[in-house]
Amino acid sequence: MTMTRHTEVLTRHPSNPIITSADLPYSANSVFNPAATIRDGETILLMRVEDRRGLSHLTVARSPDGVARWRIDRAPTFVGKPDTHPEEIWGIEDPRVTFIEEEQRWIVAYTAYSRGGPLVSLAATEDFKTFERLGAVMPPENKDAALFPVTFAGRWALIHRPVPGGGDLGAHMWLSFSPDLKHWGDHGVLLKARAGGWWDARKIGLSPPPLETDHGWLVLYHGVRTTASGSIYRLGLALLDLENPRRVLKRSSEWLFSPREPYERFGDVGGAVFPCGWTLVDDEIRLYYGAADTSIGLATGRLSELLAWLDEHDSHADE
């Protein structure tokens, strides 16, 4: 185990939380877990908004600098459509967006809340105004999904998180492949939740989509620690082989980011930091996260420092 002095790799923005429900142009309970991307120089967040019935939809916020001056759609942008898509009966949640360069469009992987439990659906958008549903791709219970931006030997790859046996068997991250974004197979476990006292014991899931770096696909994932007073959602890193994303090259032993500030500790689900999106400009990472299922926080860091931190805290170093 490495016992070096802890230094902060991700720094919270001083104006956190950067977006709360008070910033929305319409009434809602909370705004959290946003996807993030940059389009024509503008930062776009596709935010989960929970209404006062308890059901979620997605709404777009745009900012010239990714920090302030957010312009938020006047009405919900992307809403569950149970008449044609019954799996969206109880709303849609937690989007992750992936830009597909060759198609000049984004694929949104989101949670559809069906009567049978949460499942994974895909949609495509070119402008974050209209969304074309590609349908449900993973049956319940499954969530925390995102697409890789490239194909591997001609097949798309999706990370997702099924929950077998009502969670008693542990919830691990899986990887599946598809020739057409519709038919999925070659399912296999990618990263396993650890056991016992670990911060990421029994339940883990992908946070933002995997990020391509010179060293491999950088994966930020959440680990859930169950305690006597509820769950703590923390974040750790892993690195996957660029050519073969099934190969896990590194995985952090320690968590990298954990609820600390009052807006992360208190809220509808206190003790949860839950990012669904990040952007990279030059070496700067901007991580957008749900704080306590109530508001949106921003944390920034250098990609090179995240990779160096992962090297230093690689769990293989524990052996």
Which residues bind to ligand BMA, rule: CB under 6 A?
A: 33, 93-94, 233, 269, 272, 274, 290, 293
Residue nearest ligand BMA (C-beta atom) = 269
**Complex with ligand BMA: residue 274 or 278, whichever CB lies closer:** 274
Residue whose structure tokens are 């032993």: 253
Min. distance of Cβ 144 from ligand BMA in angstroms? Answer: 8
Minimum distance, C-beta of residue 274 to ligand BMA, in the bound complex (Å): 4
Q: Are 227 and 316 in contact (CB under 8 A)?
A: no
> Based on CB atoms, which residue is closest to ligand BMA, 160 or 313?
160
Q: Taking the complex as a whole, how short is the minimal distance between the CB of residue 317 and ligand BMA, in angstroms?
A: 30
CB of 33 to ligand BMA, least distance (A): 5
Q: Tell me the HSE value of 95 on the side-chain side, using a 13 A CA sphere.
A: 33
Neighbouring CB atoms inside 10 A of 274's CB total 24
CA atoms within 13 A on the CB side of 223: 26
Question: Long-range CB contacts (< 8 A, 24+ apart) of 99-102?
Answer: 99/37, 99/149, 100/149, 101/149
**Between 177 and 255, whose beta carbon lies closer to ligand BMA?**
255
Q: Which amino acid is at 85?
A: H
DSSP letter at 199 equals: T
- Looking at the Cβ atoms of 90 and 156, the one nearer to ligand BMA is 90
Angle (CA) 138 140 142, round 5° = 65
Q: Which is nearer to ligand BMA, 56 or 178 (CB)?
A: 56
* Least CB distance to ligand BMA at residue 304 (A): 29
